[in-house]
Amino acid sequence: MNIIGHKNWYFGLSLLIIIPGIIAIFLWGLNLSIDFTGGSRLTLSFNDPVSENKVQIVNKILKVEKIKTASIEKSNKLIFIRTSPMDQNQNNKFMSALSKTLKDVKEQEFETIGPVMGQETTLNALKAVVIASILIILYITWSFRQVPKPTSSFRFGVCAIIALIHDVLVVIGVFAILGHFLNVEIDSLFVTAILTVIGFSVHDTIVVFDRIRENLRKMGGSDFPKTVNESIIQTIGRSLNTSLTVVLILIALLLFGGESIRWFVVALLIGVVSGTYSSIFNASPLLVLWQEIIDKKKIKK
């Protein structure tokens, strides 16, 4: 198997998925949920303590009225609902529909609310990811410091982070497309999914890099592309088996985990598959590409 020889094809396949995703992000934007955009909050009051049955009825009417709901909570004689932004008309329509079924319902409060994941929270998470990436590059540069010439350990770190950015772009891009066509929303769970993918991606890439490091020590750096190719093939069994176990668990979660975490699991599935792909077909071939560019420059001089 010659993965390095066909590396441009593999880069091409990645771009084939990432570019439509980026276009979708710019064209349609991300379909952000109430967690990010804010919305409305209703407080309903009843004469008697609220039963589970009543909550179900409220939930059903919300669905019939096509009002997106982030949470329904009950507290003795009250129900709190967090929904997408509602204007007075929609609110009136919903309340009249509701009072047909539940006679004793009263709207105690109807207010406009801000996002749970405010700008500051999102920026903090973003800042953390950037700092973590820099630290990972530093760690890999240090840990791989003994790789023989002509390569350098710094490049390993940078390539691992490029693979990471690849995976994040794939997941966000696919969700931009899903958001447009299937109305899938990006909520606070999605942020958790992205963070998981980031952890998985680097983890996976380093295993392949570790083998390159070992083989470079054994075979020397004279035929760098060949050494990299060999290393990928030696670790491909492990890479596939590991992601297969994770994929199996995720499928179990997808089928039996219930509706509330469905898209969270889908995001993880896409990220894990992409993470495995990028660690085999992007991260290590990128090392070779980088080396080739440097070699060409040297010849020109």
Restricting to residues 179-208, which ones interact with other proteins according to CB under 8 A? 188-189, 191-192, 195-196, 198-200, 202-204, 206-207
Q: Residue 82 and residue 80: Cα distance in Å, rounded?
A: 7
Residue selected from 163, 268, 270, 287 as contacting other proteins according to rule CB under 8 A: 268
Query: How many CA atoms are closer than 13 Å to the CA of 94, on its beta-carbon side?
Result: 28
Largest Cα–Cα separation, the chain: 86
Q: Does residue 136 interact with other proteins by CB under 8 A?
A: yes
The only residue of 53, 66, 114, 183 in contact with other proteins, by rule CB under 8 A: 114
Q: How far is the CB of 12 from other proteins (least distance, A)?
A: 28
Q: Cβ closer to other proteins: 17 or 236?
A: 236
**Euclidean distance between CA atoms 298 and 296, whole angstroms:** 5
Identify the residue among 242, 273, 289, 290 touching other proteins (CB under 8 A).
Answer: 242
CB of 2 to other proteins, least distance (A): 20
Nearer of residues 25 and 253 to other proteins, judged by Cβ: 253
Q: Which of residues 57-76 bind other proteins (CB under 8 A)?
A: 71-76
Which of positions 150-179 make contact with other proteins (CB under 8 A)? 160
**Which residues, 6+ apart, have CB-to-CB distance to 290 below 8 Å?**
155, 159
Angle at which helix 188-219 crosses helix 284-300, to 10 degrees, equals 60
Q: How far is the CB of 291 from other proteins (least distance, A)?
A: 21
For the beta carbon of residue 124, count every other beta carbon within 10 angstroms: 12
Going by C-alpha positions, the residue among 164, 181, 162 that lies closest to residue 289 is 162
State the minimum distance, in angstroms, from the CB of residue 127 to other proteins.
6
Q: Which helix (H) or strand (E) holds 258?
A: none
**Binds other proteins (CB under 8 A): choice among 103, 111, 183, 298:** 111
Structure tokens at 298: 């040297």
- Cβ atoms of 115 and 37 closer than 8 Å: yes
Question: In sequence order, which residues have a C-beta less than 8 Å from that of residue 91 and are 6 or more positions away?
Answer: 40, 42, 107, 110
Minimum distance, C-beta of residue 64 to other proteins, in the bound complex (Å): 20
Among 10, 11, 80, 154, binds other proteins (CB under 8 A): 80
Number of residues near other proteins (by CB under 8 A) = 75
Site for other proteins in 16-55 (CB under 8 A): 38, 41
